[in-house]
Amino acid sequence: MASHNQAPSAGASRVAPVLPCLLLGLCLTLLPGPLRAAPPADLPALTALEAKGAATAGLIVDLERGKVLAAHAPDRALIPASVVKLATAGRALEAWGPGWRFTTSLLRRGALKEGTLSGDLVLRGGGDASITDEDLWRMARSLAQRGLKEVTGGVIVDEGLFGRIACNVADRCDAEARSENAYDAPLSATPVDYNSLALTVVADAEEGQAAQLLLEPYDLPDVAVEGSVTTADGPTQLSLERVSQGAQNNLLVSGSLPPGKTLTLYRSLAEPAHYAGTLFRAFLEQAGIRIDGAVAVSEQPVAGAEPLLDYQGAELARAIDLMLTYSNNLQADTLALDLQRRLQPDQPPSLAAAGRLLEAHVAGAADGSAFPAPAGAPAPRLADGSGLDPADRLTARQLVQLLEQGYRRTETFPSLLGALTVPANGPQTTLPAPGGAGASAADGNWNRRIMVKTGGLGVPVSVTSLAGYFRFKDGGWGAFAFLVNGAPDRPISRADAFSAMRRDLSRHWKR
């Protein structure tokens, strides 16, 4: 980085400032030129990845002293992947606060008399991505405790908050028909279990026997399980694909599992609102409430419905904790849509519009920053709230400014910090430094002194990103951001990218 101090012009004399002190007998030593601030260190391990075709960027700062410690191309705009969720989390905490809870509503369309609802029961989604099947069970139990015994109509799932959200990336579009993953779940205003299906495979105690295949939490008419798994010695070899036609989800399973082992696999589902209604109906019937009609989905707010009860989900701080820890795309993009509905209630919901709001939030983090960007630096570009869209672009400086802003907001900083991952304790397998007898002190610092969000994509290029906070050995606070984008057909492994980041950060535990 260039120094803020200006060097003298080539023709400027250095004699004149010194002459008065010579005449007074006060000058003992002539200093060679004006004092200049030392430039920040570079990031050699990160930079070395560029010899393999990668585009990289990084920035390490001391938050308390407002000092740049190391930098490499901090204003290069790269694909950020899931570190975008830092912007989503920060903006949500700013908008609602850690204790906010979204509300899912139950309403009736028809008269309710002596435990019989002569009409439809409406499940109105509130954009709460923290809702699980346990929450649906609680809602059903609450209705039963209030005396509801029969619904002569059906269950209507009200998706009016968002309407139908079009798929925004190839993975989500492809997943409308089939998927072998959970991260590509479609968006809805009434998500349940992150709009995914869970299949638990329970191996037999004896080799050669068939394993049990258990759909969680219930067998449902919308979901069919096809295939079998054999109990067999050796490594686990399981294949699970979800294939859908309309609201019907078929799970195609095969493979083997060692004796006595149990494993749960998750896959995204199609038509999640219809699935939510079907699952809710099952819980209602389990609670003793008879439902005479079918499940239906309305993409417009259901008119003429009267309230029965409101159900509040998890606190926002808890939802953000889960979103960042497990990098849940559905939670992040749902939260982005929630923000757009709050800030632009008259605009049609879309991830593109939500992304523009998050762009403004990222740009706003530069106001008053101790680490300002130079003139002409690229603006943030965000098309979603999760980082799943490869059109997203952020710089390392923008990420550090977001972290700086989060650090300065004392009312929400504990919730943000608590949602980040410490490598020694987190679910990531490639992030922690190697342990054991050969582990260095630097590796131990990495495993215990950083609190981070990771990011990763495989297409159109490999992406590994890391951003978060770290503690100096004297207890002070720093922040950093690293971005590594591979070249087409020249991917950079996550292990190699994290190793480079670890080596560069290890030079800055002391200040």
Domain termination residue (choose one: 313, 341, 368): 313
Give the E-state strand segments of 167-247 in sequence order.
178-179, 196-202, 212-216, 223-227, 230-231, 237-245
Q: What is the 3-state secondary structure (H, E, C) of 28-78?
A: CCCCCCCCCCCCCECCHHHHHHHHHCCEEEEEEEECCCCEEEEEECCCCCE
Whether residues 239 and 278 share a domain: the answer is no
pLDDT digits (tens, 9 = 90+) for 373-408: 999 999 999 999 999 999 999 999 999 999 999 999
Whether residues 444 and 504 share a domain: the answer is yes
Whether residues 125 and 215 share a domain: the answer is no
Whether residues 363 and 471 share a domain: the answer is yes
pLDDT digits (tens, 9 = 90+) for 276-321: 999 999 999 999 999 999 999 999 999 999 999 999 999 999 999 9
- Rounded CA gap, 385 and 127, in Å? 14
Domain termination residue (choose one: 291, 313, 335): 313
State the first-to-last Cα distance of the chain, in angstroms, to the nearest integer.
19
For the domain that residue 124 is a member of, what is the CATH number? 3.50.80.20
Q: Check residue 31 and give its pLDDT.
A: 41
Residue at 312: amino acid letter: Q
**38 pLDDT exceeds 90?**
no
The percent of residues in the chain predicted with pLDDT above 90, rounded, is 88
Q: Check residue 443 and give its pLDDT.
A: 82
Domain termination residue (choose one: 256, 272, 288): 272
Q: Which residue has the higher pLDDT, 457 or 441?
A: 457
For the domain that residue 329 is a member of, what is the CATH number? 3.40.710.10
Q: Check residue 154 and give its pLDDT.
A: 99
The answer to whether residue 2 is domain-embedded is no
**146 pLDDT exceeds 70?**
yes
Q: How many separate domains does the chain show?
A: 3
Strand, helix or coil for residue 307: strand
Whether residues 309 and 372 share a domain: the answer is no
Q: Which domain holds residue 180?
A: 171-272
pLDDT digits (tens, 9 = 90+) for 371-382: 999 999 999 999
Whether residues 279 and 268 share a domain: the answer is no
Whether residues 205 and 333 share a domain: the answer is no
Mean pLDDT of 58-76: 98
- Rounded CA gap, 287 and 224, in Å? 24
Q: Check residue 17 and give its pLDDT.
A: 39
Whether residues 53 and 198 share a domain: the answer is no
The answer to whether residue 262 is domain-embedded is yes
Structure tokens belonging to residue 136 = 């649906």
Q: Check residue 173 and give its pLDDT.
A: 97
Query: Of 254-263, 358-367, 443-452, where does mean pLDDT reach its minimum?
Result: 443-452
Mean pLDDT of 101-107: 99
> pTM to 2 decimals?
0.90
Whether residues 302 and 448 share a domain: the answer is no
Beta partners for residue 312, in sequence order: 103
Structure tokens belonging to residue 432 = 């922690």
Structure tokens belonging to residue 27 = 């000058």
Whether residues 285 and 221 share a domain: the answer is no
* Residue 428 pLDDT level (bands cut at 50, 70, 90): low
pLDDT digits (tens, 9 = 90+) for 450-502: 999 999 999 999 999 999 999 999 999 999 999 999 999 999 999 999 999 99
Strand, helix or coil for residue 17: coil
Interhelix angle 396-408/351-364, rounded to 10 degrees, is: 70
Whether residues 341 and 464 share a domain: the answer is yes
The answer to whether residue 8 is domain-embedded is no
Q: Check residue 430 and give its pLDDT.
A: 73
Strand, helix or coil for residue 452: strand
**21 pLDDT exceeds 50?**
no
Whether residues 109 and 86 share a domain: the answer is no
Average pLDDT, the chain: 92
What is the CA angle 194-200-203, rounded to 5? 160
The answer to whether residue 216 is domain-embedded is yes
